[in-house]
Structure 1
Amino acid sequence: MKLVYRVTPQQRLIIVEHAIQQMVGYTQRHWWNCEAGGVLLGRHLLDSHDVVIDEVSTPQKSDLRSRFAFFRSSRHEYLARQRWLEQDRTSAYLGLWHTHPEPDPNPSSVDRLDWQQAVYGDTFEGDHLFFPIIGTERIRVWCLSRSGTIQELNQEIKNG
C-alpha cells in the first residue's frame, strides 16, 4: 500500500508503505496514548516533479508528549542529518508528521504555527514542506509553500 496525493498538476506526493506503517503505529486509539510525531524523510525524483516519503523519524525520549500535545526535540533534526549523510546527501527533509486523538484530524493553531516555523526556519529542497496528521481513522496531509500558501492535499490513489 502507498498513499498518493496531488500537490500541483505536475507534482505528486507519494508516501510508501514503510513510512505509513511507521506513522500509523502511533495512532492514538486509546485514552492513554500520547501524541507522537517526527520528521519526514525521502527524495525528490529526478525524472519527474514527484516527491517520495520513504521513512520517518519516530518519537524520541527527549520529545515532550501528552494526550493533546507533541513537542519535537532537536534529536529529530540530528537523525535527519545523519540519514542525509548516510545516503550520500540524497535523503531529503520533507516535513513533519504527528498524531491526533480524533478520527478525522484537523490542524490546531499550534500545528499551523509549527508548520510556518518549519517552512521559514528550516533548510530544505523544493518549494513545499508536507504535514501529515494521523487520526484514529484517517490520514490527512497539508503542504505549506515558501510563499506562505497552505493547502490540504487530495488523496489520489489509496492502494497501488
Structure 2
Amino acid sequence: MRDCIFTLPNGRFLVVPSNLIRTLEQYRQLQPSSKEQGGMLLGVFRADDEEQFSLENPPCIEVLSITEPCDQDHATRFRFVRQCEHHLNKMKKAAQMYKELVYIGEWHTHPEDNPSPSTIDLNSWQKAFKNKIAIVVIIGRVTNWWGLWMGDNIVQIKNLQ
C-alpha cells in the first residue's frame, strides 16, 4: 500500500502514510458486536515562509501520527467519545519527535460499508473546530470518508490514487 494523497479544494494536498491508514483500518467495525473506535490525528501544516494561509486557503497538511483507542474511552456500537489521558500523552510523546507537530483532527469508525458524517458528527466537529482547519475521518466497513473542516464548512476530499 502506498501513502495516500488527497486533493484539498485549493489544489494543495493532504498526505497520509500507508502505515497509518493500515492502523486506522484495523478498527473497522466488521462484526455486529464491534464498537465505534476513534482517536486524534497529529501532523503538520506545510506552507512556504512567505505564504499566508487561511480558512479559505488551507496549506498542505501531513499526518505524522495518530492516537488509538484505549479502555477508558466511551465506546458503543454507534458512538465514541475520547476520555482517556492516553490520547494526550501520545500527543505529547509524538510532539517530542516532531517539533512542529500539532493536533490536526479526529478519526472514528462507523458500522456501515460506505460511511458519511452523521448529525452528531457534524455538531461535534462544529464545536471542536469552529474557525479552524481540521481533517476529519470516518472509517467504514468497506470505504473511508475523509473531510476537510474549514471554519464552519466541511468538504469531502478524495484520494488521488
TM bucket, shorter chain: 0.7 to 0.9
1:95–1:129 contact (8 Å) kept in structure 2 = yes
Aligned length, in residue pairs? 150
Q: Tell me if 1:37 matches 2:38.
A: yes
SS of the equivalent of 1:79 reads helix
Match for residue 150 of structure 1 among 148, 151, 154? 154
Letter in 2 for 1:102: E
Q: Deviations over 1:3-27 (max 9, x none)?
A: 2111133411111112111110101
2-structure distance, mates of 1:99, 1:72: 13
Distance 1:120-1:63 versus aligned 2 partners, 3 A rule: same
2:137–2:147 contact (8 Å) kept in structure 1 = yes
Q: Deviations over 1:69-103 (max 9, x none)?
A: 1111152234323422x135321211000001111
Distance 1:88-1:130 versus aligned 2 partners, 3 A rule: closer
SS of the equivalent of 2:123 reads helix
2-structure distance, mates of 1:31, 1:10: 39
* Runs of 4 or more above 4 Å deviation: none
1:46 positional shift: 4.7
Q: Tell me if 1:91 matches 2:101.
A: yes
State the TM-score, normalized to the length of structure 1.
Answer: 0.84
Q: Provide the residue aligned with 2:27 in structure 1.
A: 26
The runs of 5 or more residues in structure 1 that have no matched partner are 122-126
Percent of residue pairs identical: 25
Q: Deviations over 1:29-82 (max 9, x none)?
A: 111211100000112235593211122100022100011111111522343234
Q: Provide the residue aligned with 1:116 in structure 2.
A: 126
Distance 1:114-1:78 versus aligned 2 partners, 3 A rule: farther
Q: Provide the residue aligned with 1:128 in structure 2.
A: 133
SS of the equivalent of 1:8 reads coil
